[in-house]
Amino acid sequence: MLVAGGTGGLGRAVSLAFLEQGAKVVVTYRNQKEFDTLRSAAGANGSALEGRRVDVTDEAAVRELIDAVLAKYGRLDGLVNTVGGYAGGKNLWQTDAKVFDQMLSLNMRSGYVLARAVVPAMLKEGRGAIVNVASKAAVEHAAGAAAYAASKAGAVAMMDSLADEVKGTGVRVNSILPSIIDTEVNRKAIPSADFAKWPKPEDIARVILFLCSDEAKVIHGAALPVYGES
């Protein structure tokens, strides 16, 4: 299992959930300290965890990563892309092109580069599951979040097309749409919020686990809301 961004607020919970199920998990990360934290949280399951420091918007680096994973493990059963980022709070005409490009790169290009690298190997195996984490903003386009909303809507559209392309091959492709997640970063950013209403990363991780499992074999090309009460 490959969890891109597997040390992040949601990614960590996804990585730990797969490890608990006995999967071998490769995570991409950028910050060594975050990977060390994940490894210690994995405890005894840590031996099934491997970390690779990779910028997943870099096509050559991702190809190298996938080649190495396939050489070592022989196949790749699933890809969960939790890499993404948010920038907002400004109107479209006040948004720097740099920020706009960054949103497209983190939220859309990451999914493209990863899928491009893993799909051929999954097609060869005749099985595989891809879950790309988008956002509620992909379908609800609020003021002050144009670049983010566009990048997430684009990511969903891209996964929809990919799902159509691989229909009937045994490879399944789905998106999930979180609203707000109960992460440390969000708690710090909105201290007055009612955290009890925010879905926990572990709750969303369970949905992702399900989508990657054979129990979800009839779910393909979906964009699943995981809003909880928020």
Min dist CB 30 to ligand NAP, Å, is 3
**Strand, coil or helix: 171:** strand
Min dist CB 57 to ligand NAP, Å, is 5
Min dist CB 84 to ligand NAP, Å, is 2
20, 49 Cβ separation under 8 angstroms = no
Is residue 73 among the annotated active site residues? no
Can you tell me the distance from the alpha carbon of 145 to that of 121, in angstroms, rounded to the nearest whole number? 36
Q: Which is nearer to ligand NAP, 23 or 27 (CB)?
A: 27
Site residues, ligand NAP (CB under 6 A):
5, 7-11, 28-31, 34, 55-57, 82-84, 86, 106, 133, 135, 178, 180-181, 183, 186
Q: Which is nearer to ligand NAP, 35 or 163 (CB)?
A: 35
Q: Which is nearer to ligand NAP, 30 or 90 (CB)?
A: 30
Among 179, 183, 209, residue whose Cα is nearest residue 195: 183
93, 142 Cβ separation under 8 angstroms = no
CA dihedral 88→155→31→210, nearest 10 degrees, is 120
Annotated catalytic residues are 148
